[in-house]
Amino acid sequence: MNGLPAAAASDALVVFGATGDLAHKKILPSLYAMEARGGLKVPVVGVAFSGLTPEKFRALAAASVRKAGKTRPAVLKRLLARLRYVDGDYRDASTFRALKEALGGAKSPAFYLAIHPSFFSTVIEALGAAGLAKGARVIVEKPFGRDLDSARRLNAAAHSVFPESSIYRIDHFLGKEAIENILYFRFANSFLEPIWNRNHVADVQIVLSESFGVEGRGAFYDGVGTLRDVIQNHLFQIVALLAMEPPSGKTVEAQRNEKAKVFQAMREIRPEDVVRGQYAGYRKEPGVARASDTETYCALKLHVDTWRWAGVPWYLRSGKRLPVDAAEIVVHLKPPPQRLFADHPSLLGRSNYLRFRLAPCPAIAIAARVKRSGEAFVGERKELYLLNARAGEESAYERLLGDAMAGNGALFTRQDAVEAAWSALSTVLRRHGPARPYASGTWGPPEADALVAADGGWHNPEPAKGAR
């Protein structure tokens, strides 16, 4: 195995699944944005089994870019000039011979697998057999496995062709500016460290809510569900950023080491600590089984058994057809040890917190109580609100594609972290209660309220300002 050194840049990008939904909606528009910024300097080869010619593929790419937003003709022309196309079956060796020819003299290509997970091993092994893996790296879209055993098999298949340093497991959620800001905010501000532990933190809540349903992706979603599609990757990654220890150095591996330790410290989740739900009407969606028990909502209680976080409950929740589109974190701090003022104790218990709003309109808020005007010692909660969104930021896929091609693995997940995350879910993936029904536009099944009742109930994100 001859992996690409971390500092070397890719000299070509190959996108498997180049005519698929992910390429159409995310990858091709991101490549256009990279071209516009001057960050794309290599040929791009699309590979798919769609019966297209290279000319028709370029037309498809142009339509994808135009649909995503305004385009500049000169930039689009430069992008289209970079595009090449290979049409063929991923199970046919001739497809990879044609790919080798299309790559020309490229010595260190990056292979992006924007394809169904069932083809990951097939394509990786075919790249090795065709002699295309030498000096290359492979970028794999989530989900990386569907449980611990399948993740181990997929890792074994990937490692038979590529070393770990050349495998980039992509989770687009990690490419968002607001996610990166969690890490920066934690370790760039000294006032947090004294309170960022079990002595001062009462609980942590993380929610990713979507107001829409499966949107025509029923056949795919019915085989995955919220626990695998969102909790195991997106929300677990946020837990790692919040719970990790300070890295021992500035290197990528130092940071990834600390994140992996968080996954390894996750206590295996019990069935009684998980509530699954399914929105009314889900079984009528195209591609969904009539008797489906797949969850479109999941809430769970998690523990990270480290010295810093022992005894602190982490509450994770995600679902479709909920009241708002939002991703938010709330770190509740413990109340003062004595009640000195006339405020109700229940108000004091939720007075101090840090709130990270990841989407929409990323922001950070710090909450505290301040005295109201008058003689009475009664206060009200106020937030110090730090808005962090800026126009013109890189999209998640633009950032991740650029980092992978540059050999920067900071935003990508390592094998040991993937397997440790699946290990925490091993029991509940096999054994769990039925998916409870809930109405669209609500915050999920009422059974989920019992999970967090002892800690004051769920934090429900509010609609973004200006949203209806």
Active site residues: 234
Name the one residue in this structure whose structure tokens are 């044609």: 98
Q: In what order do the strands lie in the sheet with 297-303?
A: 379-387, 363-371, 353-359, 326-333, 201-209, 313-319, 297-303, 274-279, 436-438
- Encoding tokens for residue 216? 């025509």
Would you call 404 helix, strand, or coil by DSSP? helix
| E strands present in 49-200 | 83-87, 109-113, 137-141, 167-170
DSSP H or E segment with residue 387: strand 379-387
* Number of other residues whose CB lies within 10 A of the CB of residue 411: 24
- Encoding tokens for residue 401? 């594609």
Q: Which residues pair with 308 in a beta bridge?
A: none
Q: Among 414, 413, 417, which Cα is nearest to 260's?
A: 417
> Can you list the pairs that 30-33 forms with residues at least 24 positions away whose Cβ atoms lie under 8 Å?
30/395, 30/397, 30/398, 30/401, 31/79, 31/401, 32/65, 32/68, 32/71, 32/75, 32/76, 32/79, 33/394, 33/395, 33/398
**Residue 173 gets which letter from DSSP?**
G
**CA quadruple 95, 100, 102, 108: dihedral, nearest 10:** 130
Give, in degrees to the nearest 5, the angle at Cα 272 between 271 and 275: 85
The rounded Cα 440 to chain-centroid distance in angstroms is: 24
The rounded Cα 17 to chain-centroid distance in angstroms is: 20
- Encoding tokens for residue 274? 């998980």
